[in-house]
Each structure stands twice: as C-alpha cells, then as structure tokens.
Structure 1
Amino acid sequence: MKITIDPGHGGSDSGATANGLKEKDIVLNVAKKLKSILINDYENVSIQMTRDSDVFVELNKRADLANDWGANYFVSIHVNAGGGHGFESYIYNGNVSSNTINYRTIIHDEIISQVGFYDRGKKEANFAVLRETNMPAILLENLFIDNKEDAYWLKSDENLKRLAIATAEGIAKALKLKKKTSTDTKTGYYQVVTGSFEEKANAEKRVEELKKAGFDSFIEYEEK
C-alpha cells in the first residue's frame, strides 16, 4: 500500500502563525511521526513524503509527486486558523469515488474518538491537492493555531504523537492494513548477564550460586 503524506506549507510559506507557533513546523512534526508509525507498525506499507524538511513545495508539485509514484492514498496534514476551534476534514467537492468518502469517514471518526477534538464536521472543498490527485485523498485540519486552547494543545509533542497515532490507526482501518506481529514471536533465545567481575574468583562464586539456584551459567573473559 503506497501512501503519500503531505505536510502542508514549508520554507517561505509558513502557513498560519499565532501563539508562538507556525503551521509548517507542527504539520511536519505530525507527518514524520505518522510515517514512522505506519512503516514500523504495519505490513506492506510504503510512504512518500511531499516534503521531509522545511522546504517550499508548489501545490501542483505535491499532487504530481503522488500521481507519478502511483500512490493508493493521499493524506494532507494542516492546522487551521480563522477564529474557530476543533477538527475538520476535507475531500474534493467534485466527483469522488466511494472509497474517498468511506476512507474519510473512518479516519475522521477515529481521530475524533481517540483524541477528543471538538468535531467541526466532514466537509468538501476545491483544494488543489484534493482536486489534482488521481487517488482517494483527504485533507485534515487539526485544531486552530489562533485559538489559545487549541494552540496550547498543539505545543505538546506528546499530544502531536497522540494525533499521529490516531491518524495512523484511522488510515490502517480505512485501508485494511495488517498490523505487524510482535518481534517476540521470532525463534531464538535471549541471554541474561548477571554480573561483571575483575577477579576470576568472584565470577566463579557467582556461577556456583546460579547453578545452586537451578540456572545454567558460564564465564566468558574479555580483555579491557
């Protein structure tokens, strides 16, 4: 499953700014966390970032990157402004596939459920990254940077991690991604080191203590 993550703005375009925050920085932080979660936690996932640093990328270039790569899904991350508060999501206001609608519903509801944002609703708009992408696409507006309470929430890196997790789990549910199994199920064994000693006699004493307790043990010598 090929997913394009699009952190909005960047470089000379800071996006919305207020309360000591810049939209471009917040969304890049969330996007990087989202990428890491999807790659580390789910099977058969490839991620493309429209930007992974503080650089400016034209809107049409963002769509072109996803189209040329053949992405299966496009997720644009933003922070809102304009005097409101809460969370809202967007899909294109023209002809869209049923998958576009269904995916958005699942992701939107998962974020609201997990993070507890005030729900401003599921909306439609003629945004370029939604209009020009060939695959199902969503744009997420995560709180209002010019609202003091929302901005306070956005200043916490732990909160941004929560947001990334909720977004990842929404995407996983929508796209039916399979979670990776725990590495603890791999065959093999683990060793426990119970001590290091400069005197051999002390090491031998520890081995005897362990053997009496029913634990097989041995001594390995390493030069300093």
Structure 2
Amino acid sequence: MVKIFIDPGHGGSDSGASGNGLQEKHVTLQIALALRTILLDEYQNVSVQLSRTSDQTVSLTQRTNAANSWGADFFLSIHINAGGGTGFESYIYPGVGAPTTTYRDRIHEEILKAVDFRDRGKKTADFHVLRETVMPALLTENGFVDNVNDANKLKSSAFIQSLARGHANGLARAFNLSKKTASHYKVQIGAFQEKNNADSLAAQAEAKGFDAIVIYRDGLYKVQIGAFSSKENAEALVQQAKSAGFDAFIYQE
C-alpha cells in the first residue's frame, strides 16, 4: 500500500496569494480534492490523506506532524504562485537525492504534459514542509494568481481537473501504481453545452458538501460528484444528492 499525503496549501485565516478574483487556499483545495478522487477511484493499493479537506486553518507543523505520524511514503504540497511570473515550477529540499529527485522529475513532467503552462523549472527551497517531513516531499506551484492568463486557466473546472490528472499521472509513474480493472459507477448531476452552467451547478454541489468536478465528454460539460467500483456506494451517493435537491443518476464505464 502506497501512502500519499496531499497538502493543499494555506486555508482558513491564511488565504495565501490572491489576485484576479482568486485566493490560493481555494484553488489548492480544489486540485487536492480532485487528485484524491482520481487516485482512490482509479488506482489499486494506494491510500490518501489530506492535511485539510475544507477551508480551515492548519499550521505548517500540524501538516508535517500529521504526515510523519501517519507514516506517509510521499508528501505532496500543492500551491499557487504570485509575484509577476507565469507558469509551473516544483520544489524539493536542497541537497536531497534519489528517490526524491526521481519522484520530482516524473511528477513535474506529467503535470506539464497535462496542462498548458510554461515550464519554470525544477528548483530547491528550504520550505518547512520539505525540511520537516521524514519522507520524500515535493511542493508544486501551479500558475500565478496575479497573472491574468494563468488566473483565467485556474478559474476553469476542466483545467483544475487537468492539473489534478497531471499530478496523478506523475504519482502513478513515480510509485508504479496499477490501474483498477473493475467497472466504475459514476454519479452525475447534470450535463450542459455551456461550461458556465456546469461550473455553476458544480459550485452549488460543493457548497452542499459534495466533491464536484466538471468533465468534458461527448460534446457536453458533465458534473460528476463521485465514482465507485461498488454500485451500492454509488447508489448511496445518489440518494444523498437527491436529498440535497440534485437530479442525480448513475452511469457506468
């Protein structure tokens, strides 16, 4: 079992970077939740823990202590940049060697394959979350909120999903994760020709506690709130969604 600890940067009273109508703490959480869904739904023998699952204040020490106590195999801290630049970059602690460098290289490459971001390079820094973790650790900086072009991408649910997919593909390469072979029962609450309508419904679902993502497939923007190998689990989520006022149904693929 590979244990991945995902750390959505900032949260609660610490908003992180802001600009162009975005706050870092919200975007990092969106990426982290989408990444968790991909890993748990699509891969075998992987366990995931998050430093936070909502907009809450969590200290740096609490984050690294939680990962260390859990015995994580890898610590992944997700951030959004600011300061006048553009693009994607990743950080590891200075002086570390393999396997951290190997993991970093594979994740960095897969993220840039998945999204249209300028490659700002593979860097090192004495960040707390890289220094105080006892396992290999990586921090990713996914675009700049104070750059209009980057910010517009980060406002897109489909782009957030692609960022999460890139992180997942990199982790799968780094840790040789195997895909699940079972059928997936997916729970959908809407499909639209206009992306804005899908984003609006996804926001409504997230406000009611569902992990909603927007996926473009078959010419439509579809709002999905879960995917399961067990039909019973999917049916349970459908009932929860219907109780919350959504027109939910299951489709299989």
Q: TM-score range by the shorter chain?
A: 0.7 to 0.9
Q: Distance in 2 between matches of 1:54 and 1:177?
A: 30
1:150 aligns with 2:129: no
Q: 1:163-189: CA deviations, max 9, x gaps?
A: 1011101111011111111428x9xxx
Cross-structure match for 1:32: 33
Cross-structure match for 2:234: none
2:172 is aligned with what amino acid? A
Cross-structure match for 1:212: none
Aligned to 2:99, what secondary structure does the other structure show?
helix
Superposed, which structure 2 residues align to 1:72-221 within 5 Å? Answer: 72-94=73-95, 96-183=96-183
Superposed, which structure 2 residues align to 1:51-70 within 5 Å? Answer: 51-70=52-71
Could you tell me how far 1:116 is from its partner in structure 2? 2.7
Could you tell me how far 1:5 is from its partner in structure 2? 0.2
Aligned to 1:93, what secondary structure does the other structure show?
coil
Aligned to 1:174, what secondary structure does the other structure show?
helix
Which runs of at least 4 in structure 1 moved beyond 4 Å after TM superposition? Answer: none
Could you tell me how far 1:110 is from its partner in structure 2? 0.8
Stretches of structure 2 that go unaligned for 5 or more consecutive residues are: 185-228, 230-253
Cross-structure match for 2:243: none
Aligned to 1:5, what secondary structure does the other structure show?
strand
Q: Distance in 1 between matches of 2:99 and 2:164?
A: 22
1:103 is aligned with what amino acid? Y
The structure whose RCO (Cα within 8 Å, separation 6+) is larger is: 1
Q: Distance in 1 between matches of 2:6 and 2:114?
A: 20
Could you tell me how far 1:123 is from its partner in structure 2? 0.2
Cross-structure match for 1:205: none
The structure whose Rg is larger is 1
Stretches of structure 1 that go unaligned for 5 or more consecutive residues are: 187-224
Aligned to 2:53, what secondary structure does the other structure show?
coil
Q: TM-score with structure 1 length normalisation? A: 0.80
Cross-structure match for 1:195: none
1:15 aligns with 2:16: yes
2:38 is aligned with what amino acid? I
Q: Distance in 2 between matches of 1:176 and 1:101?
A: 16
Aligned to 2:108, what secondary structure does the other structure show?
helix
1:105 is aligned with what amino acid? D
Give the aligned CA root-mean-square deviation in angstroms.
1.2
1:62 is aligned with what amino acid? R
Q: Distance in 1 between matches of 2:181 and 2:50?
A: 25
Identify, as 1 or 2, the structure richer in strand: 2
Aligned to 2:104, what secondary structure does the other structure show?
helix
Q: How many residues align?
A: 184
Aligned to 1:183, what secondary structure does the other structure show?
coil
Q: Distance in 2 between matches of 1:45 and 1:104?
A: 18
Q: TM-score with structure 2 length normalisation? A: 0.71
Aligned to 2:124, what secondary structure does the other structure show?
strand
Checking the alignment, whether the CA contact within 8 Å between 1:97 and 1:136 is kept in structure 2 is no
